[in-house]
Amino acid sequence: MAELISQATDVLKELGIDFTLHEHAAVMTCAEHKAAAGDIPGILTKNMLVKDKAKKYFLVVTSDKKVDFNALRKTLKAKKSLRGTDVDTLKQLLGVGAGSVTPLGLLNDKDKKVTIILDTELKTSGQPILIHPLTNTATISLSFDSLMVFLEKKTGHAPDHVKVMDVPSPQPKSTNGPPPQKPQKPQKPQKKGKAPKGKQKKSVGGKNVKKQTKLGLEVTRSEDFATWYSQVVTRAEMIEYYDISGCYILRPWSFEIWEHIKAFFDAEIKKMGVKNAYFPLFVSEDKLNREKDHVEGFAPEVAWVTRSGKSELAKPIAVRPTSETIMYPAYAKWIQNYRDLPFKLNQWSNVVRWEFSCPTPFIRSREFLWQEGHSVFATREEAEVEVLDILELYSRVYEDLLCIPVIKGKKTEKEKFAGGLYTTTVEAFVPATGRAIQGATSHCLGQNFAKMFDITFQDETNQKRIPWQTSWGLTTRTIGVLVMVHGDDKGLVLPPRVAPVQVIIIPIPPPNKKDDSEWTKKRDEIVKHCKKVEEELTQAGLRVQTDDSDNNTPSWKYNHWELKGVPVRVELGPRDLVKDQVTAVRRDQLNEKKKHSLSRKDLGAQISKLLIDMQADMFRKATEHRDTLVQKVSTWEEFMKVLDAGKFPLAPWCGTKESEEKIKFLSAEASGGDEEVAEGETTMKLSGAAKSLCLPFDQPDLPSGTKCVITGKPAIAWCLFGRSY
């Protein structure tokens, strides 16, 4: 990062340009950049590298606004819609990664393939502009005129000055002028010293505006899913951003969810005879390269250690992207004869995959937690039994714990695990984005790795034989899928089985009278009863917490714990005490405004039933929604119609890699303009290309003579396709 900063600042110094540099943690969005920039004066710029259908590239530099891309396309006379570019293109044209797009990147556009578009607002404002110096770990402040000097003297790019428009606000529907205004009642004079009732307002620039709170979410899922997701995982205290892009701090609220998943899965695999172990984080280059087909799939993502202190290492050492090449040399020593089989080990660990695609907390990060199991068997039949047994456990993690329906199936040859015989998968679906997501995989590795790492055994007849292997993994991606599938406009909705806190108890204090001592006494009595309820529910085996803090109102507490997704809220106030009851509210029933009045007698059993019902209802609703997304098709026209509706076509398929490539290419071409752009990266909305997800185990009938949806050749199976994370 320091080298990139120096590369940019050295050029500015060479041109005699005045600027100020501010270093900070890595940022990926304008919202994060704004927070990191703090009080630095100037206009925070949004920088986007976009392309049109004719593959003309435009670097758009504007202020932090929601850009009207339809209007911009017409102004630029672009061919069809403007689309975001991938990370490889960013690197190739501008020499920057995701989140680091900047006009200074035109230093690397030697062939002048990029046209720079400057918003006229930046010039007329007279303020400094804030841009990145080739990396998103710093911000440079310089004048608009200085940027022009840089462009003209150092890059030779002549910018187009364009008025970049905001997305227009929706107008009320009307056929005969503006809607009639209701007559306003005269306002009563305000009593001195008293604030008006209702929502409080403050004066900004002579105008009254509503006060905003940072407690809740500022966007809805339907408005801006990417921003919604980012706000949920941060404001619900699941993650904290770190100063290395793509790496995140897992806070206790999310880590405990992972612990519940881990506890379930670990207990189940131990019933299958799997034992836990731990292998080193590092792998030598020689070992990593022993299995070329396997390594090829990870090569671009491998992180290397090349230096110790100030000394260069004699040979670079890789940080594990997966552990086959670390574990199997040891397996070759430990497995000697048939009595050593089956051999089953699992490790709970972290891995590093230095991806250059857009990092997304939990879903796609450079370091993540997982379990990886590696088993060895004497026969193929034994290996294949475990492959499916493990896949069934993964299905239970998603469906029984997380209330997320999945489809079990087999990956195509093109999508299988590199170096393995075949791969099975559980595929989950995010209805809000029209994307599928690979939930977990269980691989039959065949004998390939055993041959590469000399793993052999003597059978009962003293014959030397090559064993069969499996590997299988589940990651913290599960948490991201949970957020995406169940979250709503108020925040998280957590299934009771994995919620860190299943029940939050909120004391409702009595109305505040003049006698503060009497009020305090009554409040303390209510809190005392809340603690008794907490103790009773804890004894019933529930995870319970009482929020008896006295610095926030009950309404504030409702919002706080709703954002964090606690399954059940229990309220206890003066009226409840009189009636010897509590009021309970299920997190998934907020929109239905359902409240349950429960007797204090056998309260543990009643709350437990609420949680059981909520778990079942969440899975039922998610399954019903998922079932509407998967649709059988038989023609390419039907395929694209289903795909562009944000759904998943189940199509007859001929089984060739060439047909998969054709589907990917044609689907991208046919739906090319649906993609939106953010600061140097694509958002989590629909992009064009479809890929194969799996060949579902639950196959519909395939009548004789059925033709492949894309080639017209005889179909061999129904294949599920869709856009995917």
Q: How much is the average pLDDT of 327-340?
A: 97
Residues 6+ away with beta carbon under 8 Å from 482: 257, 402, 404, 494, 495, 498
3-state secondary structure 573-618: CHHHHHHCEEEEEEHHHCCCCCCEEEECCCHHHHHHHHHHHHHHHH
Angle between helical axes of 477-486 and 225-235 (0-180°, round to 10) = 120
4 vs 413: which has the higher pLDDT: 413
Strand partners, 45: 63
Confidence band (pLDDT; 50, 70, 90) for 356? low
Amino acid sitting at position 240? E
The two three-digit tokens of residue 468, written as one number: 């069969």
Q: Over pLDDT 70: what percentage of the chain?
A: 89
Higher-pLDDT residue of 89, 386: 386
Q: How confident is the model at residue 634 (pLDDT cuts 50, 70, 90)?
A: very high
- Band of pLDDT at residue 175, cut at 50, 70 and 90: very low
DSSP state of 398: I
Indicate the pLDDT class of residue 308, thresholds 50, 70 and 90. Answer: very high
Rounded to whole angstroms, how far apart are CA atoms 235 and 574?
32
pLDDT at position 99: 84
Residue type, 265: F
- The pLDDT assigned to 513 comes to 64
pLDDT at 576 over 90: yes
Q: Per-residue confidence at 304, pLDDT binned at 50, 70, 90?
A: very high
Query: Per mean pLDDT, which range of 98-107, 158-167, 238-247, 658-667 is the poorest?
Result: 158-167
For residue 678, is pLDDT > 60? no
CATH fold for the domain made of 503-615? Rossmann fold (3.40.50)
Kindly report, residue by residue over 36-76, the tens digit of the pLDDT: 777 788 888 999 998 888 888 999 999 888 888 888 888 88
- Tell me, what's the pLDDT at 59? 93
Give the integer Cα–Cα distance in Å for 301 and 295: 10
Looking at residue 174, what is its pLDDT?
A: 42
Q: Which amino acid does the sequence have at 435?
A: R
Mean pLDDT of the chain: 87
Confidence of residue 264 (pLDDT cuts 50, 70, 90): very high
Q: What's the pLDDT band for 673 if we cut at 50, 70, 90?
A: very low
- SS3 string of 624-644? HHHHHHEEECCCHHHHHHHHH
Query: In b/e form, how buried is each residue of 703-721, taking b as 16+ CB within 10 angstroms?
Result: eeebebbbbeeebebbbbb
Helix axes 516-539, 603-629, angle to 10 degrees: 70
Q: Which of 25-34, 232-241, 487-496, 613-622 has the lowest mean pLDDT?
A: 25-34
Domains 236-281+335-486 and 503-615 alike in fold: no
Position 292 scores a pLDDT of 64
Is the confidence at residue 457, as pLDDT, over 80? yes
pLDDT over 50 (residue 469) = yes
CATH superfamily to which 236-281+335-486 belongs: Bira Bifunctional Protein; Domain 2 (3.30.930.10)
DSSP 270-320: HHTT-EE----SEEEHHHHTTSHHHHHTTGGG-EEEEEETTEEEEEEEEEP
Mean per-residue pLDDT, 340-351: 97
| Whole-number pLDDT of residue 97 | 84
Does pLDDT of 197 surpass 70? no
Average pLDDT over residues 527-547: 97
Mean pLDDT of 604-629: 97
The domain limits of the chain are 2-162, 236-281+335-486, 503-615, 633-724
Structure confidence at residue 204 (pLDDT): 32
Reported confidence tier of residue 688, pLDDT bands at 50, 70, 90: low
Model confidence at 295: pLDDT above 70: no
pLDDT confidence bin for 466, thresholds 50/70/90:
very high
Q: What percent of the chain has pLDDT over 90?
A: 62
Distance of CA 389 to the CA centre of its chain: 28
Q: In this structure, are residues 439 and 472 in contact, taking their beta carbons and an 8 Å threshold?
A: no
CATH fold, domain 633-724, is: Translation Initiation Factor IF3 (3.30.110)
CB-neighbour burial class of residue 56 (10 A; exposed 0-12, middle 13-18, buried 19+): middle
Fold of the 2-162 domain: YbaK protein (3.90.960)
Rounded to two decimals, the pTM is 0.73
Find which of 218-227, 499-508, 549-558 is predicted with most confidence, using mean pLDDT: 499-508
* pLDDT tens digit sequence for 211-257: 334 568 888 998 888 889 999 999 999 999 888 888 999 999 999 99
Distance (Å, whole) CA 101 – CA 108? 12
- Using one digit for the tens of pLDDT, what is the confidence trace for 358-387? 678 999 899 999 999 999 999 999 999 999
pLDDT of residue 357: 63
Pair 25, 241: CB distance under 8 Å: yes
Residues 106-122: what's their mean pLDDT? 90
Is 643's pLDDT higher than 90? yes
Of 285-289, 323-327, 329-333, least confident by mean pLDDT is 285-289
The pLDDT of residue 212 is 39
**How far apart are the C-alpha atoms of 287 and 273, rounded to whole Å?**
28
621 pLDDT more than 50: yes
